Amino acid sequence: MLKNTRIGLPLIGSKYWYAGVTIVDSIIHSVIQIPKEERPKLFLVITDENLPYLASYDLLPLHEHLIPLTDGLIFVGENLTTAQMLIQYPFAHYASINDLFQNIDILLPINSDLYLGKPGIPWIPDFQHHYLPQLFTPADIQNRNAKFKKIADNTPLVIFTSNDVKKDFLQFYPSSTAKAKVLPIPVHPKQEWFTGDAYQTQFKYNLPDKFILCSNQFWIHKNHATLFKAIAILRQSGQDVHLVCTGSTFDYRNPDYFIGLQKYISDLNIADLIHILGLIPRQDQIQLMRRSLFVVHPSLFEGLNLTAQECQLLGKKIILSDLAIHQEQNFGIYFARADAIDLARKISDLLPVSTPGPSSSEEIKAQMFYKEKIENFNYQLSELVEDAQHIFNSPSRAPNFHHRSTTQITIATSIAATKDIGTQKRCIESWLHCGFKVVSINTLDEMNLVKHHFPYIEFVPANRDARAQYGKPYIYVDNILSYFTAQDCKICGIVNSDIYFGKANLPLFMYTQAMNSMVFGSRVDVTSLDNLNGNFYNGFDYFFFDRDLIKMYPPTNLCIGLPWWDYWVPLVPILSKVPVKKVVTPICYHILHPTNYSMAIYKNLAMQIATHLSLGPLPSDIHIGNLQQTVLNFIENSSAKINFI
């Protein structure tokens, strides 16, 4: 728990590298949303080491807006007179790092030297120098390698802001004993984002009504050249697309880069389509994002991926390069990062279905993402703090999950590596606390990404997945049924990984009710797991059944996590004249979030259901909609209603 914890946050970042400021800003804005009596104490920490940068790199001005949100400033070091002159805010003073750690419990994220033996947690932003060494001097590469090796060799705990960077760390430093933790940074929208005048901002910069937006500083790895080439390809095909670019035009590693880009634009004969605004106020940039048709983010490398989150919060479509870190967000349209033709095609496809914003309805719908991300972040921060306390202060203790051996039921699920791990962990722990045994069936690569988050459950590798068929590693329902066929258990369970059980004594109830039967039920959709008031969902999320029923199921291509599988599971025993019971008591809960599957997949799976039911072809969307309602009504009318008491 975070309550009563004292967290120090060092001032990191600069006007040339804003990522450091972003992570500190995000931690503070996430934590202050915890009820005051439950939240930790937060302190901004300045040291002798970064005193020289307070003014020259705008270090203090960039963090000034955060000071009122914290519990105070701390200065650590001997240069007290200089600190008093430069800081000009009240601060506590500690003469040494040892004194600091007598007064705080944890310091993170550290982007400088290590504090060996102290709970200071280093952060590695990325390994860009491994993938794009041409952008670094030999000295820079040597310094980064030495710094990261020191972390790998000496720290017991290290944090990353994406699974992609964590994967790199484990690959480059396989012998490191450091515990690697991912702390995904959420974007925090400000109220003025949604009240600003996007139309006036467009007018301010003299922009056309219809434009797409790229908001990246003009550094080589941001890949503007591929985007400009795509705009030229579109012009050659008869489509003129106006592109607005915001961001600093200075690359300190390649001072002549922007001049070369300007010449490239001229050579492509698209100067009239490219509107370069340079570094503009943040509020203006957000308003242009709202006003745009959509956003394009063509980067060749990223350590943080905030642009996709911004678009998600604003209900704005985005085309992104196919970096692994971009795909972690599971939001947007991806293009082959070095392929201007592919990018041009994706832009052309999106243009006819895009209109200038802002869209109030899309922005309102998008707000549910934000609450879910903040809840997930604070959960993972709490987990990180707990890990640090165990590592530096006391041995870790495993949670005490009590199991009833006589009626124990195994629940099979498939944890989603691209969804909020914190929420899924909290949900699955609710199953364990009830007394269920849990197994997750995943691809090997997904297992390696998530299994360290779930040390108290079993992982089983799937012998196939749906990547080739549906574009993602969904697990077939057949795989789960096959797993249970080989197990020595009377009653089996299948539950979505983001379902929270809010009742005790469920295993005994399910064991009794599911004997020679199928028991299933619907979730209650809520905005937070701390407030379980909500509405029932017109679908099904948990199933408990006698293992003897498995032989009734014919092979299908239905997958957990996609539509129709939840209808299929109770439908088969109903058609086989087996007792099917629906629990009408609210026992499980789910945080609202938009669905991510495509309509094409939905229709494809509907056709499969129709085929299994021998209904013949489905010629229109209306028939598919009718099919869904018909099947739902049939399941509801064919199942006995039971209450959990």
pLDDT digits (tens, 9 = 90+) for 316-329: 999 999 988 888 77
Alpha-carbon distances, residue 378 vs 26, 270, 426, 548 (angstroms): 11, 46, 12, 43
Is the four-CA dihedral 299, 301, 304, 308 of positive or negative sign? Answer: positive
Rounded to whole angstroms, the Cα distance separating 281 from 279 reads: 7
pLDDT at 406: 46
Closest CA to 478 of 576, 575, 608: 608
CB burial of 256-273 (b: ≥16 within 10 Å; e: otherwise) equals ebbeebeeebeebebeeb
Which fold, 191-358? Rossmann fold (3.40.50)
CATH for 410-642, among 1.20.120.160, 3.40.50.300, 3.30.465.10, 3.90.550.10?
3.90.550.10
pLDDT at 619: 46
- Walking along the chain (645 residues) 10 residues at a time, the average pLDDT comes out as 86 76 90 88 90 78 88 89 86 88 91 86 92 88 94 94 90 93 87 92 96 92 95 96 93 86 96 95 94 95 80 91 83 92 96 92 77 81 88 57 59 88 88 89 88 87 88 91 88 94 83 92 88 84 94 91 90 93 92 73 80 61 71 91 85
pLDDT at 397: 42
Closest CA to 43 of 72, 11, 13, 64: 72
Q: Which residues pair with 536 in a beta bridge?
A: 524
pLDDT at 491: 92
pLDDT digits (tens, 9 = 90+) for 132-181: 898 889 999 999 999 999 999 999 999 998 888 999 999 999 999 999 99
- Predicted TM-score (pTM) of the model is 0.59
Secondary structure element (H or E) that encloses residue 641, with its range: strand 640-642
